Amino acid sequence: MCGHSLGPVAKRSKKRVLEALEAWEHQAVSAWNLSQWMELPQILSEKIATIIKCSSEDLAVCDSTSVNLFKAIMSALKLQNRRNVVLTTKDNFPADLYISQGIANFHPQVHVHAVPAESLMSSLTEDVAVLMLSHTNYRDASVLDMEKLSRAAHERGILVIWDLSHSIGIVPVDLSSVEIDFAVGCTYKYLSGGPGSPSFIYAHPRHQKSLESPISGWMGHKKPFEFNVNYIKGSGSQAYMSGTPSILSFAALRGALEVFEHIDIVSLSRDSEQLADSLIACIEKSEDISVISPKTGTRGGHVALTHPNGYALSRALIDHGIICDYREPDLVRLCVNPLHVDKQDIELCGSVFNSVLEKKTLMGGKYQQLQSVT
């Protein structure tokens, strides 16, 4: 029940990683050619582009989401004249806030303005260079209106960056039908790419010519193996590649993405909403529980609830076989991904949940001790 944080391992991932290990063992450095390792980023770009409906020319698979967000914000700021505000929401994922604060720290003319989501429209002022938002909120799984916000930003000359980390693989995203400028996202959550699997970055084709990455790494060079001392950027979003791809992680993600070749995200999302409704019905009447995820409308793939003793509750649930996670100060998140769980699992989860809550002794002692990863 925690695929919103780390999706489970796909059999195909295991196979692809073992294949890569075999290639390493038997082909050594020749595997870069013999086993198509150099082509892996492009192979993965094509698969991810299919899921979010864009061209693989406009997408690169590389680095972490944090690093890709840095590249996207820096590129967007470079494209803007004299505007220097990065507008975002107060409840955006902290890494996204940290990355923009870090940029402002190095570039004193840049300011970060973080507002409540309800104030976004009225904050689209003429000094805003970039609107940087998470599509699905990591806390309550609410989903922002990508079309409406992007259009409003563009009407005011503002570029838009979307973080799709909690959407890709569970909430339909169609970049062919909405005008945005940049997107980044994570592949270890709903795509099940594996711990620390590579992220992706998208730039709209209209930016490709003028697009510049602040990290001019050799993998983003037009011809890395010419070892030319001058940097000539690669075509399209390839310019966003920086260093050598982490092949074992790429192999795991490749296997995971093969699963998605057979999945329709629109029906997956519908099924997920139904499972979420069942879970909410099972748990919302429990004492001290408050479900904070939206009960109607589009919702991401997890259900978030608060409990005054949320951390201990999450630990007790894990001890009873319900793997969930906890976010400060009192939030417990449970994932309802139909690829991992069905209605019976949800009913079982509901009954374990309620029995853990009833046995109040479970909430004391060892469950209070904070672990380093929650």
In DSSP terms, 142 is beta-bridged to 299
Rounded Cα gap, residues 154 and 354, in angstroms: 48
Residue 292 as a binder of ligand PLP (CB under 6 A): the answer is no
Determine if residue 203 is left, alpha or beta; phi over 0 gives left, psi from -120 to 50 gives alpha, anything else beta.
beta
Nearest approach, Cβ of residue 246 and ligand PLP (Å)? 12
- What CA–CA distance (Å, rounded) separates 116 from 94? 14
Shortest Å, Cβ 186 to ligand PLP: 5
Looking only at the bridges linking them, the beta strands covering 199-203 and 182-185 are antiparallel
Determine, following the binding rule CB under 6 A, whether residue 101 of this chain makes contact with ligand PLP. Answer: no
In angstroms, rounded to a whole number, what is the distance separating the alpha carbons of residues 31 and 187? 24
Q: Is 200 strand, coil or helix? A: strand
Give the number of residues in contact with ligand PLP, rule: CB under 6 A: 13
Taking CB under 6 A as the criterion, the residue among 35, 75, 142, 165 binding ligand PLP is: 165
Q: Is 139 a catalytic residue?
A: no
Residue 5 CB, nearest approach to ligand PLP (Å):
7
Among 138, 202, 260, 353, binds ligand PLP (CB under 6 A): 138
Q: Is 95 in the site for ligand PLP (CB under 6 A)?
A: yes
CB of 279 to ligand PLP, least distance (A): 21
Question: What residues contact residue 229 under an 8 Å CB cut-off, 6+ apart?
Answer: none
Q: Is 88 in the site for ligand PLP (CB under 6 A)?
A: no
* End-to-end Cα distance, the chain: 14
Query: Do the beta carbons of residue 16 and residue 201 sit within 8 Å?
Result: no
CA-derived radius of gyration, the chain: 21
Partners of 61 in the beta sheet?
Answer: 200
Of 112-131, binders to ligand PLP (CB under 6 A) are none
In the complex, what is the shortest distance from the CB of residue 65 to ligand PLP, in angstroms, rounded to a whole number?
A: 3
Among residues 58, 70, 71, 93, the one annotated as catalytic is 93
Contact pick of 58, 96, 181, 325 for ligand PLP (by CB under 6 A): 96
Least separation in angstroms between CB 140 and ligand PLP:
13
Q: Does 140 bind ligand PLP (CB under 6 A)?
A: no
Tell me the window of 75-83, 91-99, 146-154, 285-293 that interacts with ligand PLP (CB under 6 A): 91-99
Residues 163, 182, 190, 326: which is the catalytic one?
A: 163
Residue 163 known to be catalytic = yes
Binding mask 166-185 for ligand PLP (x = CB under 6 A): x-------------------
Would strands 331-335 and 302-306 be described as parallel, antiparallel, or unpaired? antiparallel
CA distance 151 to 179: 7
- Output the six-digit token pair for 284: 């919302």
Taking alpha carbons only, the member of 76, 77, 68, 64 closest to residue 215 is 68
Residue 65, interface with ligand PLP (CB under 6 A)? yes
DSSP 53: T
Would residue 189 show up in a list of annotated catalytic residues for this protein?
yes
Query: Does residue 64 touch ligand PLP according to CB under 6 A?
Result: yes
Active site residue ranges: 93, 163, 188-189, 333
- Applying CB under 6 A, the residues found at the interface with ligand PLP are 64-66, 93, 95-96, 134, 138, 163, 165-166, 186, 199
